Structure 1
């Protein structure tokens, strides 16, 4: 709608009013990623790649792929400023009792980057996503 109004105003030689400019929603990482559907597409791809990865696929062997992709979608959606609320367990209790090393975590990040690249997510957005998710490593890595 704003693009149409902008074009009409420009054609008539008018400037946009400050009120119209303020009506815009803030640009969030969530909106830059294309919203929940786009995030879900990336998470579906990510989970499939995780299950197939030689380094960490064993850890996802019996994981319900659809459920995991859904929870990851909620988590990324919420973390990037979207309207979602993460409904899963916290990272510490989710990974308790598992043997997860820094190498496992790094492999997971590499797989995520592969999925982001496959979805043609720009590098700058990828770094923003990784920066948001990186602090979770403290609660995910169980073997130091």
Structure 2
């Protein structure tokens, strides 16, 4: 069974993305990255990306991760904060730890495409 199916499909992905952005936007180290960003559009892209990444039927047609995050100067600290909020979101929605770990394994290789700021920068 795919991770997508295991967590409850599209409704679960939508709930996760909505909760995730509440957490991210409340985080003072991350909120500045989203100033002026059209959140409805971003959430649509994020749902498609996550669904595709975890085995859902959706096709992700957005930019690759390096292009989407170019120029944002995201640090390792910020990347780790995002991962922490994702883990907390999924745990809060009742996703089993094993499934959260599988999602993390799927997304962890993206660090090199997303982190572009010098170590220690925020």
CA distance in 2, matches of 1:84, 1:135: 21
Give matches, 1:55-66, under 5 Å. Answer: 55-66=29-40
CA distance in 2, matches of 1:123, 1:62: 34
CA distance in 2, matches of 1:61, 1:141: 18
Deviations 1:43-91 (A, max 9, x none): 1111121111122111112222222221111111111111001121111
Q: CA RMSD in A?
A: 1.1
- Residue segments in structure 1 that go unaligned for 5+ positions in a row: 1-26
Q: What is the TM-score when the length of structure 2 is the normalising length? A: 0.90
CA distance in 1, matches of 2:20, 2:48: 14
Q: Is the 1:55–1:104 contact (alpha carbons within 8 Å) kept by the matching residues of 2? A: yes
Q: What is the TM-score when the length of structure 1 is the normalising length? A: 0.77
Which residue does the alignment assign to 1:127? 101
CA distance in 2, matches of 1:120, 1:52: 21
Q: Whose relative contact order is higher, 1 or 2, with alpha carbons under 8 Å and at least 6 apart?
A: 2
Give matches, 1:1-144, under 5 Å. Answer: 27-144=1-118
Runs of 4+ in structure 1 deviating by more than 4 angstroms, as ranges, are none
Indicate the SS of the match to 1:143. Answer: coil
Q: Is the 1:48–1:65 contact (alpha carbons within 8 Å) kept by the matching residues of 2? A: no
Deviations 1:18-37 (A, max 9, x none): xxxxxxxxx11111010011
Q: Between Structure 1 and Structure 2, how many residues are aligned?
A: 118
- Residue segments in structure 2 that go unaligned for 5+ positions in a row: none
